[in-house]
Amino acid sequence: MSNQTEQPDLERRGFIGKTVLAAGAAVVAPGVLVSVAGAGAKTDGADPGKRYGLLIDTNKCAEGCTACVTACNEEHGIDLMQKPEGLDEAQWQQQKPQWIRKVKLQDNLTGRVTNLPLMCQHCEFPPCVDVCPTGASFKRADGIVMVDRHTCIGCRYCMMACPYKARSFIHQEVEHQTVSAPRGKGCVESCNLCAYRLDYGADNTACAEACAAQGHNAILFGDLNDPNSELAQALSSAASRQIRGDLELNTGVRYTNV
Amino acid sequence: MSTMTYRELWCSSPRYWAGLALLGALVLIGLGAAYYMEHQGHYVTGMNNHIVWGLPHVFAIFLIVAASGALNVASIGSVFGGPMYKPLGRFSALLAIGLLAGGLYVLVLDLGRPDRLVVAMTTYNFKSIFTWNIFLYNGFFLIVALYIWSMIDRTAKWAYTPLGFTAFFWRLALTTGTGSIFGFLVAREAYDAAILAPMFIIMSFSYGLAFFILALLAAFWWAGRAIGDLRLTKLKNLLGVFIGAVLFFALVYHLTNLYITQHHGLESFVLLDGGIYTVMFWLGQVVIGSIVPLFLIYSPGFKTSRWAIAAASVLVLAGGFFQLYVLVIGGQAFPMPLFPGQEVLASTMLDGQIAPYTPSVPEFLLGMSGIVVAMTLVAVVSRMLQVLPDSLEDEQER
């Protein structure tokens, strides 16, 4: 028989016991701190007979005007967010949330310049909803695509999937926010067509309102399903297109003259 | 035929515990980095609204892909009946579990809300490939653990073959699922290709085997045991075949894109003028990750050189890392085709522009610690279970 201390089997039991104990403690301890978030009923109140959308007339979208962006930022408390101390300005520009942005384009062949606002396109078949593992990214019965911030785990797969770069991740602690647009570090968010305004009886979005107030009327909001709505009438009378129509996502936001 | 004896990883106390302490310290550093990023928010990283998956994802995907590949050695022994590989099966399966755990550790700690992991485990959207991956990953742990048991416990020998087959097909599904994370993304030009799923499988063969060779050499050196040249030569030659196969898939992927006019911009970005991404592709993936290791493997001058085998394996891993970096980060940096035929003159969301990304130190530390977590797990379990053969000298085999 060889030397006892050289025998692995004798000391093995002790080693296994201690390791299992340590691993068990490491697993259980954080679990005690975790609380399960409950999600409310997602479609409560949304009317399945409606499909909200926008029509953007790029001919009316004025160069240099950012009224829609400013209005959105105020409406959803985005302007309350401050650049974290010590963060580089350029990086802050890439990290801060943007629900709507102005884009200026020039046709390669003709040189024609187009201005347009770009936001979540509220697809009928949203890729962000398809890929979300927890179902936090969801589409309401009335066609609005939004994020349930109680179940968003911050995996950012929806941002990988969105063809419009319409989503933003909250990179820092949120100090100030509005009651109507709750926001939290580590979650994803995007344009929700001012859902809570509609739920409380409003008939327009902040961006469309601001555009109209400037006298441009480039953004028209309404119900795509209602043939009598101004939106449906405008869509049936003029040619419009979807951005990345090749993906056949049947977007709720349409553009003319682009 | 002589019997193969397995023994726990047992070396002198200071040698084992000092090694384990070093690994533990590195894990602690990674956990510290993760805590810092989680506590401050992702603003302290190089990630932004354009590059949403940064360096940690490269590490995580790299480890998850390698995990399924590391199981191949066991599969060759049980599914394809290779007697030379059979004694390596237990360690191969353990390494597979370790690498997967390391990858998932990085993936979870890089979430915006890692505290909501329980939500991910209880609330599912079955159209998401991520959801399927949660089942594939957890299933992999279970099946491979049972597989190890069937290899160790003589009374469970009846389960060995069925579990070997199950594990083999499961690992194919797992890598297909991981490749499909990108293959299903219609939005971005670099992804949205069915070839990504089989390409990830072949990448896993290569990275997994490279990891296996290194882990085996390291464990045997640690425990002071011997490996024969014959077996190492077999492993090394197999690695050479896999490197060639990965290159072939990369070639097909790029040739297909080059044929399609729409993708010419992307191809010139990766192959010609993408700056760091072009360098990583040619120098990283092609030269360092493929040509040099192929030379080290097949050059008669290095026929049985341990040094050359280890170096080739390290370079394969480095090349694989660059390959994933170009795919994951480069694929996001390249602008999405929102307005074909038009130039974007102004946009606050960098439309039409290459998105910037500079990885930060905490991201790197978290990613690195994923590899260390895998090694620690393997080191600890190797000391508990009889996964390593007492000796792999050539004479013992036949």
- In tens, the pLDDT along A154-182 reads 999 999 999 999 999 999 999 999 998 99
Altogether, the residues listed in chain A come to a count of: 258
Query: Minimal Cα–Cα distance from B23 to chain A, Å?
Result: 15
| Sign of the CA dihedral with A181 first, then A186, A191, and A192 last | negative
The pLDDT value recorded for residue A10 is 62
Residue type, A8: P
User: Would the pLDDT of B396 be above 80?
Assistant: no
Give, for B245, the enclosing helix (H) or strand (E).
Answer: helix B229-259
What was the pLDDT predicted at B15?
86
Structure tokens at A187: 């979650």
Residues B223-237, mean pLDDT to the nearest whole number: 90
pLDDT tens digits for A73-108? Answer: 999 999 999 999 999 999 999 999 999 999 999 999
Other residues' Cβ atoms within 10 Å of the Cβ of residue B301: 8
Give the nearest partner residue to B112 out of A34, A90, A154, using CB atoms. A154
- Higher model confidence: residue A180 or residue A119? A119
How far is the alpha carbon of B109 from chain A, nearest alpha carbon, in Å? 10
B342 close contact with A: CB closer than 8 A: yes
**Which one, of B63, B199, B81, lies nearest residue B140 by Cα?**
B63
Map tokens 């296996």 to a residue.
B212
Place of tokens 């939500």: B119
**pLDDT band of A9, cuts 50, 70, 90:** low
Q: What is the pLDDT of residue A1?
A: 42
Nearest to A153 among B8, B112, B339 (CB): B112
What's the mean pLDDT in B237-247?
96
Q: B83: pLDDT confidence band, cut at 50, 70 and 90?
A: confident
Q: Which of B130, B134, B345 sits opposite A157 (nearest CB)?
A: B130
Q: What is the mean pLDDT of residues B95-110?
A: 98
A11 pLDDT more than 80: no
Determine how many CB atoms are found less than 10 A away from the CB of residue A177.
15
- Tell me whether B43 touches chain A (CB under 8 Å): yes
Helical spans, DSSP H, in A34-156: 67-75, 89-95, 127-131
Cβ within 8 Å of A, B 127-186 = 127-131, 134, 181, 184-186
What pLDDT is attached to residue B173?
95
Look at residues B152, B204, B195, B213 and name the one whose alpha carbon lies nearest to residue B174. B204
**Can you tell me which residue has the tokens 């109209």?**
A212
Cβ contact B130–A131 (<8 Å)? yes
pLDDT of A30 reads 58
Half-sphere exposure of B188 (CA within 13 A, CB side): 26
As a whole number of angstroms, the distance between CA A153 and CA B120 comes to: 7
pLDDT for res A8: 60
User: For residues B185 and B176, what is the distance between their CA atoms, to the nearest angstrom?
Assistant: 14
Phi-psi region of B223 (alpha: psi -120 to 50; beta: other; left: phi over 0): alpha
The pLDDT, as a whole number, for residue B176 is 93
Which residue, A217, A216, A215, A222, is CA-closest to A236?
Answer: A222
The answer, for B395 touching chain A at a CB cutoff of 8 Å, is: no
pLDDT surpasses 90 at B10: no
- Cβ of A28: how many Cβ atoms within 10 Å? 9
The pLDDT value recorded for residue A35 is 43
Residue closest to B110 by CA, chosen among B199, B33, B20: B33
pLDDT of B2 reads 54
From residue A62, how far is each of A103, B7, B264, B315 by CA, in Å? Answer: 11, 77, 33, 55
Contact criterion met (CB < 8 Å) for A102 and B346 = yes
ipTM of the complex: 0.92
Residue A40 clears pLDDT 50, i.e. is over it: no
- Residue at token pair 């530390």: B365
Residue A19 has a pLDDT of 80
Residue B353 φ then ψ, to 5°: -115, 155
- Return the exposure string of B212-249: e unless at least 16 CB atoms fall within 10 Å of the residue's CB, then b: bbbbbbebbebbebebbeebbbebbebbbebbebbbeb
CA distance B124 to chain A (A): 5
CA distance B300 to B11: 35
Please give the single-letter amino acid code of residue B34.
A
pLDDT band at B218 (very low <50, low <70, confident <90, very high): very high
> Is B99:B66 a contact under the CB 8 Å cutoff?
yes
Find out whether B247 and B106 touch, Cβ atoms under 8 Å. no
pLDDT (mean) for A101-116: 97
Give the residue carrying structure tokens 């400013």: A70
Which residue is closest to A96 within chain B, CA to CA?
Answer: B49
Quick one: what percent of chain A has pLDDT higher than 90?
A: 80
A171 at interface of B, judged by CB pairs closer than 8 A = yes
Note which residues in 117-156 of chain A have CB less than 8 A from chain B: 118, 127, 129-135, 151-156
Determine the pLDDT at residue A165. Answer: 97
In 3D, which of A44, A43, A60, A54 has the Cα closest to residue A99?
A54
**Residue B335's pLDDT band (cuts 50, 70, 90):** very high
Put simply, the answer to whether B112 touches A244 (Cβ < 8 Å) is no
Residue entry with tokens 């555009």 = A211
Check if CATH label 3.30.930.10 holds for domain B24-336+357-387. no
User: Does A165 contact B at CB distance below 8 Å?
Assistant: yes
Region of A105 (left: φ > 0; alpha: ψ -120 to 50; beta: rest) is beta
The secondary structure of residue A220, as a DSSP letter, is E
Q: Given a cut of 90, is residue A194 above it in pLDDT? A: yes
Model confidence pLDDT, tens digit, residues A210-238: 999 999 999 999 999 999 999 999 999 99
pLDDT bin (cut points 50, 70, 90) of residue A29 is: low
Chain A residues inside the 8 Å CB shell of B134: 133
CATH of the structural domain A52-256, one choice from 3.20.20.140, 3.40.50.720, 3.30.70.20, 3.40.50.1360: 3.30.70.20
Chain mean pLDDT for chain B: 93
Q: What are the CA-CA distances from residue B212 to residues B34, B94, B324, B396 (Å)?
A: 27, 10, 19, 21
Answer for the pair A129, A118: CB distance below 8 angstroms, yes or no.
no
Beta bridge pairs of residue B106: none
Query: Domain limits of chain B?
Result: 24-336+357-387
Strands B6-7 and B388-389: antiparallel
pLDDT above 80 (res A41): no
pLDDT at B372: 98
- Binary contact (B345, A97; C-beta < 8 A): no
Summarize the confidence of residues A125-150 as an average pLDDT.
96
Among B49, B115, B349, select the one facing A169 at the smallest CB separation: B49
Q: What pLDDT shows up at residue A125?
A: 97
pLDDT-based confidence at residue B183 (cuts at 50, 70, 90): confident
B188: phi > 0 → left, psi -120 to 50 → alpha, else beta; which? beta
Contact by Cβ (8 Å): B112, A186:
yes
Q: What is the pLDDT of residues B37-72, one digit of tens each?
A: 999 999 999 999 999 999 999 999 999 999 999 999
Tokens 């100090």, residue located: A175
User: Cβ B41–A170 below 8 Å, yes or no?
Assistant: yes
Does the pLDDT of residue A2 top 70, yes or no?
no
Is the pLDDT reported for residue A136 higher than 50?
yes
DSSP three-state, residue B89 = helix
Q: What is the pLDDT of residue B11?
A: 75
Mutate to test the interface with B, among A99, A100, A103, A128 (most CBs of B within 10 A): A103
Joined together, the tokens standing for residue A208 give: 């469309």
Find the mean pLDDT for residues A185-192.
97
Q: Please state the φ and ψ torsions of residue B383, each to the nearest 5 degrees.
A: -85, -20
- Lowest mean pLDDT: which of A136-140, B153-157, B342-346? B153-157
Whether the CB of A82 is below 8 Å from some CB of chain B: the reply is no
Write out the DSSP string of A172-187: S------TTS---TT-
pLDDT above 60 (res A252): yes
**Encoded tokens for A240:** 């419009």
How far apart are alpha carbons B9 and B378 in whole angstroms? 10
The mean pLDDT of A181-202, rounded to a whole number, is: 95
pLDDT of residue B129 exceeding 90: yes
Which among B48, B131, B384 has the least Cβ separation from residue A91?
A: B48
Q: B120 and A153: CB-CB below 8 Å?
A: yes
B193 pLDDT more than 90: no
The answer to whether B384 contacts A170, with C-beta atoms less than 8 Å apart, is: no
Could you tell me where the beta strands, DSSP code E, fall in B287-396? 342-347, 388-389
Rounded Cα–Cα distance for residues B183 and B109 (Å): 24
DSSP state of B86: G
User: In angstroms, what separates the C-alpha of B46 from chain A's closest C-alpha?
Assistant: 8
CA distance B201 to B116: 30
